[in-house]
Amino acid sequence: MNIAIIGTQWGDEGKGKIVDLLTQKKKVKAVVRYQGGPNAGHTVVVRGEKHAFHLLPSGILYPDKTCVIGNGVIIDPAVLAEEIKILEDSAGKKHARILISEKCHLIMPWHKIRDVLDCGKIGTTGRGIGPCYEDAVGRRGIRLIDAANKKRLGLRIKEELTWNRCLIKTWKGKFNLSSEKILSDYWQALEGIKKNPLIQIGDVTEWLWETERKGGEIIFEGAQATLLDINHGTYPFVTSSNSTVGGLLTGTGFRPKKLEVIGVVKAYTTRVGSGPFPTELINKTGERIREIGHEYGTTTGRPRRCGWLDIPSLIYAKKINNLDSLAMTKLDVLTGIGALKIKVNPNFSVDTVELSRQRPVYETLSGWNENIAKIRRFEQLPQAAKKYIKRVEQLTGLPIKLIGVGSDRRAIIRKNV
């Protein structure tokens, strides 16, 4: 069975840990990223060592697997090259093979400049993600296939540099980069990637087709989350790609014959950047959750806004992605807080004006004080923790099959349903 791992909130739900766990299955042959760029951050803790990935799928630590970067992902070659270097400095060449779609668009220097000039209103990472997707849709993008040889890449850079000089000059921005300097830097990074014996650039669709035909299972790793989807999120406070399950199809050119869709949810809610957040806790409880949960962005280090669990948003994510089950992470962070609240308003709106005016209706549940980090069976959890899980299941109509109770990759309860 192929599996899609989808974020159900505003991102940072701990999808990487769930992907890492499920990738351990022998039948799993590949882990696929299908959208987003280096604005995404996935953290996996192995033997106390923290690994932060941005472009590389979370299954990269398994030498017997293949990590696929689909055409829906946009790539900054320098960032990818550096991420691979850091990985190989710590793990050597003992990592998964990497297949990158030749259709991936490249983040160029002008994208970062445009992002910085225009990102203030929604709080983006400033890494050129939005402008790169804009150019892709506007048919002005530069793809990996354009970097088949240095001459072709140089021509494409000159063409797009001319257009961007005019655009940024209109915004009164400074733009002093030369086409020769850009070509030199990008070619050096791309050459390093191409020469790595564990990396291949090619046809992702064909490879996935063959992998499924031979009986291999595939895990699809979504970046960001449902409420950040460009079409279905809390627009305009969203990312620039389809981070819901539909992005899997367009971001790979492949439809799995069988697919289980697992939504990942924190035991509470967080979001980074601007936008309405009805359950946000601007008090000591919110600060406590942030500190205990280490709620700081993997990519930017920005402190995340923290609040109570929002059930209506989970039901919305369930419908948008047709979720089969949930995986709940960071249940341990709620230990010792006291009484817990969950938002149970009858509906959820992605109309940001309406959402910002919404008064949360809460249901209060008992908390627990016992340390649950070493518990591996659902029956061993404190009674209050079990009630919390069961109540979320009742309200969403979804079984919670996996429960994260600590930062280590082994700190997961597999719940039989």
- Whole-angstrom distance, CA of residue 368 vs CA of residue 389: 13
Residue type, 389: I
Annotated catalytic residue 12: yes
Alpha carbon distance 161, 154 (integer Å): 10
338 vs 255: CA distance, rounded Å: 45
Count CB-CB contacts under 10 A for residue 178: 10
Taking 3-state DSSP, the helix, strand and coil percentages for the chain, each rounded to the nearest 5, stand at: 35, 20, 40
Q: Are 28 and 288 in contact (CB under 8 A)?
A: no
How does DSSP assign 231-300, residue by residue?
TTSSTTSS-SS--STHHHHHTTT---SSEEEEEEEESSEEE-SSS--TTB--SHHHHHHHHHTT-B-TTT
Residues in the chain: 417
H-run or E-run covering 341: strand 340-343
Angle of CA points 219, 223, 229, to nearest 5°: 120
| Catalytic residue selected from 12, 135, 229, 310 | 12
8 Å CB contact between 392 and 317: no
Token pair, residue 261, equals 């869709």
The candidate with the shortest Cα–Cα distance to 343, out of 383, 391, 309, 319, is: 309
Please give the C-alpha separations between residue 315 and each of 9, 10, 279, 320, in angstroms, as whole numbers.
11, 14, 16, 9
Q: Which of 20, 42, 51, 229 is catalytic?
A: 42
Number of Cβ within 10 Å of residue 122's Cβ equals 15
Which stretch of DSSP H or E encloses residue 165?
Answer: helix 150-170
Which residues are known catalytic residues?
A: 12, 42
